[in-house]
């Protein structure tokens, strides 16, 4: 047989049109292979079966968390969490039905809701980096300088440098000690006003009715604005900022439809929400920009000699957080295209966060003490024993007041300032055997988690500070005990924990040490909460007060 008589590949293909021409390599292998066809077929069947089985096993192991039934088209479960009952209570009831991890949809966004400390620990240890970003809502874009703040910027190099600047330069133990004078002086000024209020209204040494909701909002605001900006409460610009901040709080609690369903943003514009946020942002920026400008002018005058300062007063000579941040910017220790915007974002965030956390906690502390008078009495006894009756409480006394510390812990356990806090998953991961795709939002229901009877076996719904002397003696608020994390945990934990606790402990100790407290009617305080992001008391807290000691004590 000549070579011309040997059939070529092209000849075979011409006779066998079923073999595709676009893969000659495969054709050659099939035609020239000495392996019997049944073995080849069997091999591929085994491979396909193995792949299918492996995928099925992985699917079983990493299924998504159970989804709550009753989702509506387009809005998902928005109807469930936007009713008259607070969101954290609704989510708590759903956890009783679906378990400690379940899924809901708010508009187009899938949300994993977690209320178990074991699962939270996985989120903020094993997958901490994956959950280190927060969703960006419309209020953040418009009123918080579009993610320039440490709380709302995306996790990455910029966030890490910003967080480093704040933790190493503004909120260190050394820095807070340096600012002790300003902090204590503002607290003392507020307590003098409280005593003066009693002297003006009292009749025959009787108790005087005081709106503590307003007073407890003013005292942390005065402290933080003094430390951050050097401004005293009587400054007109501070009052202006305080007023617009109230508008900001209200707008932050207003549901933006575009946050749930992005293509409905036009409805937010139609109902005036966008313009309202922009107006509030403009007012806030105007005040904050004037503060930054004043600090820049002061620095120029100081560098030129004190003669450049006109009408020098005490606040001009104090170094505050704005001064420190300006120094950092001048040394190029933090790169920013717009240093003023960065400073304003940090200042606004620190003031709002410190005021809200401190005010909400102190409000609930007084409510719980007035509803549990035996706890109030024991706390006053501890203060009288450790501090005495001839002087007021100082920061240095707090370490000797374990019951006061336990009261703060127990209050934040039952009434965390933010009962539900939010993160966003940046990459696929697995939590508690459930698959969490990238882009899923994470809601931690602190209100439910911190009342878990498996962790707090003795009356978890009741106010019992004594529990921190028994089974939970080592539990603190620093984010490592996942059964009690009102300040969060992981790399996104609130950086101002130490500062907030210093103010809370000092203010609480001075109130109950210096004044007798009673309810106006003798009945229990109403404990209902608002429906927003922060668990404010729904009704004003009015308290009857009178001094416990002689007038010289308050001078």
Contacts with 298 (C-beta within 8 Å, 6 or more apart), sequence order: 309, 316
User: What gap in Å lies between CA 413 and CA 411, rounded to an integer?
Assistant: 5
Number of alpha helices (DSSP H) and beta strands (DSSP E) in the chain? 22, 9
Residue list for the binding site: 494
Structure tokens belonging to residue 257: 């439809």
Q: What is the pLDDT of residue 333?
A: 64
Give first-to-last CA distance, the chain, whole Å.
123
| Helix, strand or coil, per DSSP, at residue 134 | coil
- Whole-prediction pTM value? 0.85
More confident residue, 147 or 33: 147
Q: How confident is the model at residue 46 (pLDDT cuts 50, 70, 90)?
A: very low
Q: How confident is the model at residue 36 (pLDDT cuts 50, 70, 90)?
A: low
Lowest mean pLDDT among 154-158, 390-394, 527-531: 154-158
Give the ranges where 304-338 is alpha helix by DSSP (H): 314-317, 321-330
User: What gap in Å lies between CA 291 and CA 225, rounded to an integer?
Assistant: 11
Structure tokens belonging to residue 66: 């159970």
- Enclosing H/E stretch for 60: helix 37-61
Structure tokens belonging to residue 313: 């007063």
Residue list for the binding site for heme: 494
8-state DSSP, 111: E
The CB density around residue 451, as the number of other CB atoms within 10 Å, is 17
Q: Are 446 and 486 in contact (CB under 8 A)?
A: yes
Lowest mean pLDDT among 99-108, 199-208, 449-458: 199-208
User: What gap in Å lies between CA 153 and CA 89, rounded to an integer?
Assistant: 29
User: What gap in Å lies between CA 420 and CA 404, rounded to an integer?
Assistant: 26
For residue 2, pLDDT beyond 70? no
Q: pLDDT tens, 106-116?
A: 999 999 999 99
**Domain topology for 78-554:** Cytochrome p450 (1.10.630)
Q: pLDDT tens, 218-253?
A: 899 999 999 998 877 655 567 788 888 888 888 988
Q: In what order do the strands lie in the sheet with 208-211?
A: 208-211, 542-547, 515-518
């Amino acid at each position: 047989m000549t070579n011309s008589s040997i059939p070529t590949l092209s000849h075979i293909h011409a006779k066998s049109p079923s073999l595709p021409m676009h893969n000659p390599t495969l054709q050659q292998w099939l035609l020239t292979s000495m392996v019997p066809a049944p073995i080849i077929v069997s091999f591929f069947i085994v491979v396909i079966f193995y792949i299918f089985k492996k995928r099925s096993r992985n699917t079983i192991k990493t299924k998504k968390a159970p989804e709550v039934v009753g989702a509506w088209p387009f809005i998902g479960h928005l109807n469930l969490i936007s009713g008259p009952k607070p969101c954290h209570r609704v989510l708590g009831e759903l956890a009783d039905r679906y378990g400690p991890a379940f899924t809901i949809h708010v508009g187009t966004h899938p949300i994993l809701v977690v209320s178990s400390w074991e699962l939270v620990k996985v989120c903020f240890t094993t997958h901490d980096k994956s959950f280190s970003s927060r969703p960006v809502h419309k209020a953040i874009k418009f009123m918080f300088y579009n993610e320039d703040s440490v709380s709302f910027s995306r996790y990455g190099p910029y966030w890490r440098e910003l967080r480093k600047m704040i933790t190493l330069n503004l909120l260190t133990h050394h820095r807070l000690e340096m600012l002790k004078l300003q902090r204590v002086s503002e607290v003392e000024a507020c307590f003098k006003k409280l005593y003066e209020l009693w002297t003006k209204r009292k009749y025959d040494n009787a108790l005087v009715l005081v709106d503590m909701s307003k007073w407890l909002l003013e005292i942390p605001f005065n402290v933080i604005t003094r430390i951050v900006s050097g401004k005293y409460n009587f400054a007109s610009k501070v009052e202006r900022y305080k007023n617009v901040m109230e508008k900001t709080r209200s707008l932050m609690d207003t549901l933006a439809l575009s946050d749930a369903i992005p293509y409905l943003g036009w409805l937010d514009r139609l109902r005036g929400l966008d313009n309202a946020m922009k107006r509030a942002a403009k007012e806030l920026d105007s005040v904050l920009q004037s503060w930054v400008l004043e600090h820049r002018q002061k620095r120029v005058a100081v560098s030129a000699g004190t003669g450049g300062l006109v009408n020098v007063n005490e606040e001009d000579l104090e170094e505050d957080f704005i001064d420190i941040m300006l120094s950092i910017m001048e040394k190029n220790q933090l790169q920013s295209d717009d240093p003023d915007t960065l400073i304003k974002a940090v200042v606004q965030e620190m003031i709002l966060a410190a005021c809200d956390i401190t005010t909400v906690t102190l409000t609930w502390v007084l409510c719980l003490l007035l509803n549990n008078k035996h706890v109030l009495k024991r706390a006053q006894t501890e203060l009288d024993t450790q501090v005495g009756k001839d002087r007021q409480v100082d920061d240095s006394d707090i370490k000797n007041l374990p019951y006061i510390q336990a009261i703060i812990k127990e209050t934040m356990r039952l009434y965390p300032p933010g009962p539900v806090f939010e993160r966003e998953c940046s990459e696929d991961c697995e939590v508690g055997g459930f698959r969490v795709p990238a882009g899923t939002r994470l809601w931690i229901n602190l209100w439910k988690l911190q009342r878990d009877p498996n962790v707090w076996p003795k009356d978890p719904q009741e106010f019992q500070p004594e529990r921190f002397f028994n089974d939970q003696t080592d539990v603190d608020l620093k984010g490592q005990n996942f059964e009690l994390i009102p300040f969060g945990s992981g790399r996104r934990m609130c950086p101002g924990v130490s500062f907030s606790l210093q103010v809370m402990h000092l203010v609480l100790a001075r109130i109950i040490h210096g004044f007798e407290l009673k309810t106006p009617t003798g009945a229990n305080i109403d404990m209902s909460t608002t429906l927003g992001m922060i668990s404010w008391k729904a009704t004003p807290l009015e308290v009857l007060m009178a001094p416990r000691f002689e007038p010289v004590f308050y001078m």
